[in-house]
Structure 1
C-alpha cells in the first residue's frame, strides 16, 4: 500500500501580510487577453508557466491563498518562465516578485513542494486538459485551473500544525 504524501499547514495567524502596489490587468476583456497571448505565442512559441498553491489553515481546515487582480479577478501566484529557466528557481523568482517584501535585504526562503498538476491548452480557448491531446503538435500551455485544485490535492494528507 502506497501512503499519501503529507503536507504541513500552519494557521493563517502565523503569517504576517503587508501590501504592495496593485497590479492592474493588462487587458480590458478576455478577448483582448487571448488576442495578446496569441500574438506572444506567434513571436515566442510555447512558454512554460508555473503557479504556486499556498496552503494555510483556518478553523482546522486547509485554505488556498489567491492573489486578487483588479476588483474581481483572483489567481494563483506565478507566471511565465524565462526561456531555459528551471521551474523551481523560476517559481521562487515569481513568488519573490509578487509576494516578497519591497526590500532587497528581505529575501524569502521559499519551500517548494512537488508538482501537483500539469495542464495543456491546445488552442486559444477556455478549455484546458490535464494531458496534451495526441493530435496537437504545438500546444499552448498557460493559465491556472483553480476549480480543480481540490481534486488535485485529494492525494495528499494534511498535517494541521498548531502554534
Structure 2
C-alpha cells in the first residue's frame, strides 16, 4: 500500500494570496446622535395638488411638455441609542414621505435636489444661528430607483418589460448628515425620526418604498458616535443601550399627538 508523501502534493504554481478582510466589504458610515441636531418650524407649505387625481394630471402635463419627470428624495440617517433612525416627513397625519421633491425640467439633478431639500428643511431668516445653520448638503450614493410606468399611483423598483417610456423616475439618495445641522419643517408637516426596525417589512403602514429602506441601508456598516464625538458602538458588535426600545419620535411641526387612525402609505393607499 503506497503512502502519499508531502512531496507528491507540491505544485509549480505559486500560492494565491487571500484577499484582505476589508476587500469588497461594506462601507462604514458615521452616524451622529439625534441630540446633535436642532429642529424648528417655518411657514406652511401647502400641497400643490388638492387630490391624487390632480397630482396625476399635473404629471401628465409635465410629461407632455418635458418628458419623464425626475424626482429626488433623501435618506437622512442619524442614531438614537445606537440604533439608526430615518428622518421623515408626515403630512396631514397620514402620508409619510422622504425630504425632496420633483425637479424642474431645466435643473441639474444634484443642484436641483439640494434646492428642494432646502425648501423642505432649511431654516429661514434669523431664527437660528451658530454651527449647522448653513451646512451644505452632502449628497451620497444613489440607493434606489423607482419607476412610474403610467399616469397612476403605483411605482416599481424596475421598468416593466412592456414599458418603453416611463412617466417618472424617483431616485433615493443617501444623505450623509454632518456632526451638527439645523433643520426647519413647514408647520403643516411633522418631522419624524423613525427607527429602522419600525420600517422593516411594514408596507401596510409605510408603503413599499419606505419599508424597503432597511434593505437599502444593509450595504453599509455603521459607526455610532456620541455627543462628544467618541465612537461608542459599531456594526457589528453594538446594539441599543440597555433595555431601550427605539420608537418613532416627533421632532418638529404638526400636532403633538400622533394619530393612528387613517394612516396611509406614500401612494395614498389605506
Short-chain TM bin = 0.7 to 0.9
Pairing partner for 1:148 from 194, 209, 212: 212
Match of 1:37 in 2: 59
**Offset at residue 48 of structure 1 (A):** 1.2
Deviations 1:125-154 (A, max 9, x none): 233222223421210225572121111111
Structure 1 residues without counterparts, runs of 5 or longer: none
**Offset at residue 84 of structure 1 (A):** 4.2
Q: Is the 8 A contact 2:62 2:69 kept in 1?
A: no
Pairing partner for 1:20 from 42, 62, 65: 42
Match of 2:225 in 1: 161
With normalisation by structure 2, the TM-score equals 0.55
Q: Distance in 2 between matches of 1:147 and 1:25?
A: 23
Structure 1 SS opposite 2:156: coil
With normalisation by structure 1, the TM-score equals 0.87
Q: Is the 8 A contact 2:71 2:168 kept in 1?
A: yes
Q: Distance in 1 between matches of 2:87 and 2:108?
A: 24
Task: Tell which structure's C-alpha radius of gyration is larger.
Answer: 2
Structure number with the bigger relative contact order (C-alpha 8 A, sep ≥ 6) is 1
**Offset at residue 108 of structure 1 (A):** 3.0
**Offset at residue 102 of structure 1 (A):** 0.8
Q: How many residues align?
A: 163
Match of 2:94 in 1: 72
Structure 2 SS opposite 1:158: strand
Match of 1:133 in 2: 160
Match of 1:60 in 2: 82
Structure 1 SS opposite 2:114: helix
Which has the larger strand fraction? 2
Q: Is the 8 A contact 1:67 1:77 kept in 2?
A: yes
Deviations 1:19-41 (A, max 9, x none): 01222323333233223322332
